[in-house]
Structure 1
Amino acid sequence: MTTIRDFAQLLEAAMERAPKRVAIVGAGQRQTLQCIRMAHNMGLAKCLIIDDPERVQRVAAEEGVDVQGMDIIPEGDMGEAAYKAVAMIHAEEADLVMNGRALPVELLRAALDKAKGLRIGKLVSDVSVFEIPDFDRLIFVSDVAIVVSPTLAQKAAIVQNAIDTAIELGVAKPKVAVLAATEMVNPEMPANMDAANLSKMAERGQIRGGFVDGPLAMDNAISLKAARMKGIESKVAGQADILITPDVESGNILAKAISYFARGHMAAVIVGAKCPIVMPSRSDPPEQKLISLALGVYLTR
């Protein structure tokens, strides 16, 4: 399997698995409508819009976006729209879910509902994939959106979800850096101790499919020069594919720092559920939303 190293390759690979039926929660928003129009035109997705039809038609007219050929399921309440999207997955009327203008909590409430949601007995977590200038590979970051303050067991599941996602994108043996403030094991720093335990869990086969090392500071996780200067030698140090953050706050800060300081482009998807849940930022430009959708399409079986 060829390793996907940039978003152009990701889009090309997704097209080979297209089209997929996408239930879109709230498309009455400029960036989302432009995104799904591109996806529809290129044959990436069959778009099933769940929103107020009058709002969708008004925004489409204002922005000059043609919504011909797209199904619009009437529902102006975004909380209810999310539940309709989930029901469409269960009824096999859609293959994956994408958020448009709904608040993330509205979609997640429906997707994670214990009775009606999309849980399949695994931890559900976010995997954000970055294309960063001057990097020869995609960088995966988790979890930046779902598990607020994960326990050690939850962190192990987050690592496994990220490894499985990277493998799907052709990374044969993903290198996972569990991040902390310092690479030295320090019993007074809980995130640092969790990182050390995760490394040992992978060594004992409790996490499978990749190389896991931690604790690693950010510099020696991605810079071979920094790792060598600090005398750190491992299969991960300086060459990580996956960065695991201590909690959602640090993950979200890292993701935005990559986007705004390193000029990285992000595709985001929630994994571990019955289907991929595409969760771009509501402020993302249409082209970036399209890449997130392509990631979701590619991961849909």
Structure 2
Amino acid sequence: MTNRTFDEMQPGDRAELRRLITADDLFVFAAASGNSNPMHLTDTDVDGNGTAERIAPGMFMASLISAVLGTQLPGPGTLYRRQTLDFHTRAHAGEEVIVRAEVVSKAEGMVRLRTEVTHADGRQILTGEAEVIAPVEKFDREDVEVPGLVVQRHRHFEALLERARPLPALPTAVVCPNEAKSLGGALLAARESVISPILIGEAEAIRRAADEIGADLGGIEVIDVAGDAAAAELACRLVHDHRAAAVMKGHLHTDDLLKPMLDKAHGLRVGRRFTHVFVMDVPGHPEPLFVTDAAINIAPDLATKMDICQNAIDLALSLGMEPRVGVLSAVETVNPAIQSSIDAALLSKMADRGQIKGGQVEGPLAMDNAVDMGAARTKGLKGSVAGRANILVVPGLDAGNMLAKQLAFISHAEGAGLVLGAKVPVILNSRSDSPMSRLASCAVAAIRHFAGAR
């Protein structure tokens, strides 16, 4: 980064930068300034003029002028004295703008500059004039770095919800929604028209939970059943009777929910092992990241891992993703002393021979070179999966559970939970899940169901 000192500048000197305004820019500006005006942060029509918003705040646009002055002309060492601003049009997220500054005059250490921001086609957004104290010492360094920022928003789940909302509401048997969070998640998905819930459990407890959160159960079917086991069995019957196309876990243990589904005569088995997938929306990650299996199969053998891979691939395809399966181990080479590395290599070869279909499978991979291209190149790994995996098959439940919770509590990810391998999607949330996680789980189930129906 190099500046221009007061003595070096002359009237007519110019500088400019081009900037693509992103939605994340507006969220960062809102966090820094405290200006959370929905006109700047949402795609909805806030002011009723018939168009969606995401308007860049005026002072954000003005801050781009300070970027030119502080980094180019005059550059490092510049201090503001005055800035005038006249706004002509507005810029929106997704638009490219051009920011320009031109020296008009200089005197007694002060420099006056003409400033403007325009659309890429030349339409003026704002014009004005700046007066700055110009640097007198030369600055020329290459080691100026600004820490990167990751915006904690969940754009992948937002996109999934946009896909799910136009679909028919998915008839969903909600088992034992007799406390606030489990009931609230189902009702939130119903309000978003993602599911049409059938509430199964002790009716009085369900109504108490509704009163606790101020919810109206009018128009929603409530089936009064005593006991968790009986409620889970009834959910299976509703699926067989074609009244429910999904099952959602409420306030009961996962084992109690799944036990009747595994019954050979009256359950929901269709030939594969039941496997669990966390669909993780990790801030800053370019696409959803699957972690599987982190909730059902404790120490899966090779045959179970084959079903884990296939179920995850099928789900990824239904979500419109290109499945790239990284089978994780502690190392990226086969080590006879590490069973997970042997299983990973076998799964990769099974995919090559068509025993696992629909996606690319590679392993063994360590976590770093599964998701980071730089780490993959450092290890000399080639292929289309290393560094780009979007499905992570873990060695066992403990590793998967730790990985998913690290992503959630350290990387601020949200996770949608789904059980696959059953006749219908099974929405599986934990008690600590946020409303967004519960809603996203319902959206994933709906997209999966209707993709399979086509």
Q: Same fold (TM over 0.5)?
A: yes
Corresponding residue for 1:160? Answer: 310
More helix by share: 1
Contact 2:235–2:247, Cα closer than 8 Å, also in 1: yes
Matches within 5 A, 1:1-301: 6-172=156-322, 174-300=323-449, 301=453
Question: Would the aligned equivalents of 2:414 and 2:436 in 1 still touch at CA under 8 Å?
Answer: no
Q: Which runs of 5+ in 1 are unaligned?
A: none
Deviation at 1:140, TM superposition (A): 0.9
State the alpha-carbon separation in 1 of the partners of residues 284 and 435 from structure 2: 24
Q: Give the letter for the 1:110 counterpart.
A: P
Three-state SS of the structure 1 residue aligned to 2:218 is coil
CA RMSD of aligned residues (A): 1.2
The whole-number CA distance in structure 2 between the counterparts of 1:36 and 1:161 is 24
Supply the distance in 2 between the matched residues of 1:242 and 1:87 (Cα, whole angstroms): 33
Paired with 1:182 and 1:255, the residues of 2 have a C-alpha distance of 20
State the shift of 1:282 in Å: 2.1
- Distance in 2 between residues matched to 1:169 and 1:154, nearest whole Å: 23
Which structure 2 segments of 5+ residues have no match?
A: 1-154
Q: What letter corresponds to residue 245 of structure 1 in structure 2?
A: V
The Cα shift of 1:231 comes to 1.4
Whole-angstrom CA distance in 2 between matches of 1:112 and 1:283: 26
Report the secondary structure of 2:327's partner residue: strand
Q: Distance in 2 between matches of 1:220 and 1:85?
A: 42
Relative contact order: is structure 1 or structure 2 higher (C-alpha 8 Å, sep ≥ 6)? 1
Instruction: Specify the alignment match of 2:115 in structure 1.
Output: none
Identity of aligned residues (%): 41
Deviation at 1:290, TM superposition (A): 1.2
CA distances 1:108-155 after superposition (whole Å, capped 9, x unpaired): 101112221100112221111010011110111111112221111111
Deviates more, 1:114-123 or 1:186-195: 114-123
Paired residue type of 2:304: Q
Number of matched pairs: 296
Q: Secondary structure at the match of 2:165?
A: helix
Shift of 1:39: 2.0
When the two structures are superposed, what TM-score results if normalisation uses the length of structure 1?
Answer: 0.95
Q: Distance in 2 between matches of 1:9 and 1:48?
A: 26
Give the number of the structure whose alpha-carbon radius of gyration is greater: 2
